[in-house]
Structure 1
Amino acid sequence: MLPQIRSIGLVALGSNSPSAQGDPRETIEKAILALVEFFQVIRGVSRLYRTPAFPPGSGSDFVNAVVAVETDDPPEKVIKKLHQLEEGMGRTRKTRWGPRTLDLDLIALGDYVMPDAETHLAWRDLPLSRQMTQAPDTLILPHPRVQERAFVLVPLADVAPDWVHPALGLSVDQMLAALPDAVKEEVVALE
């Protein structure tokens, strides 16, 4: 029998609206339990963090976390599972970057750069004005803006500080160090 090849998936969780599961913190805690059930093998769970909504003024503060999972599923199947979990917890997609009961982002899966390096670069370099109105019609991995987002990188450092972005060649710690201190200080661990 051939050995099973499994990849590490990095999943960012966020909530800033109450759901049927409770307030945003309770929603994130229940979503983490659902991820355990979905993936069976969890490599790490970050602390929970409070972060301001982005863009500023777009809603209440978020509760954020990151979970590292182990899976042999391809990226398309993983994202489908994540979308099913979001829907099961009341997520509706109305406004881009609006309030959300649950947001699950597949930050990375193994060393995949999808759909290709050129497309990844184009989405990574997309100006903020276009990011706010455009969404890709295909899965982009790693998440094209992970390197800009303290609300992802701070909890990611809890579970995978040595993970290296396959397109940028930078570790989580290096990407975090490149962010302004004021942005990092907005990400506050919950007790």
Structure 2
Amino acid sequence: MIAIGGNLHGQKDSTLEQVGSAICEISHKIDEVVGKSKVYRTPCFPPGAGPDFVNAAVICESDKPAEAILNILHEIELQAGRKREQRWGPRVLDLDLLAVGDQICPDLAGYQHWAGLHLEDQMRLAPKELILPHPRMHERAFVLVPLMDIAPDWRHPVVGKTVAQMHAALDPADLAEIRPISQ
């Protein structure tokens, strides 16, 4: 599962076009996209860090290892004009590898370390290794809303809840700020 987002136009005329282009690149470079969510307008996170985002999610079928998929996602971001200058700052394209089946990477202790970081540490630290599932996917409406379209029954291998259960636990005020902008 891959989360797709962006809040700067980059080489495309709009963030919506940027997301669509990223989905095409994912299907060409990783493998077949077998599930695609609606595209949503979501508030910038953290609040005040830039313009609103456009977010979506896809599911791919691939035999590639998780690290290879992550490298391809980073190449797609770079080709779109992403510059990794500021953690959680405005960006042309953000592609997050959310999960690969029920893999936990690098291991449960490593996952728990990154998932347990305080917000201040999350904002300034980035792991050097792949962390799966994404350590905060279960807390973020901008991730779970698109996932509800394509994988409501997927079960988080650490948290033990489905996407639908994690979505139901979100603050209704956060959910109210997310609006679909395409089918």
TM-score (norm. length: structure 2): 0.97
1:35 and 1:189 map into 2 onto residues whose CA distance is 21
Which of 130, 133, 141 is the aligned partner of 1:139? 130
**Mean Cα deviation higher: 77-86 or 178-187:** 178-187
Segments of structure 1 that go 5 or more residues without pairing to the other structure are: 1-9
Within a 5 Å distance, the mapping from 1:1-191 to structure 2 comes to 10-191=1-182
Task: Give a deviation string over 1:20-64, Cα, whole Å, max 9, x none.
Answer: 122111100111111111133111000000001011100000000
2:181 and 2:87 map into 1 onto residues whose CA distance is 26
Task: Give a deviation string over 1:82-116, Cα, whole Å, max 9, x none.
Answer: 00000011011000000000000000011110001
Query: Displaced runs of 4+ in structure 1, greater than 6 A?
Result: none
**Mean Cα deviation higher: 44-53 or 32-41:** 32-41
The total of aligned residue pairs comes to 182
Segments of structure 2 that go 5 or more residues without pairing to the other structure are: none
TM-score (norm. length: structure 1): 0.93
Deviation at 1:125, TM superposition (A): 1.1
Deviation at 1:163, TM superposition (A): 0.5
Q: Percent identity?
A: 48
1:91 and 1:150 map into 2 onto residues whose CA distance is 23
Equivalent position amino acid for 2:3 in 1: A
Deviation at 1:13, TM superposition (A): 0.3
1:22 and 1:30 map into 2 onto residues whose CA distance is 11
Equivalent position amino acid for 1:147 in 2: H
CA root-mean-square deviation: 0.8
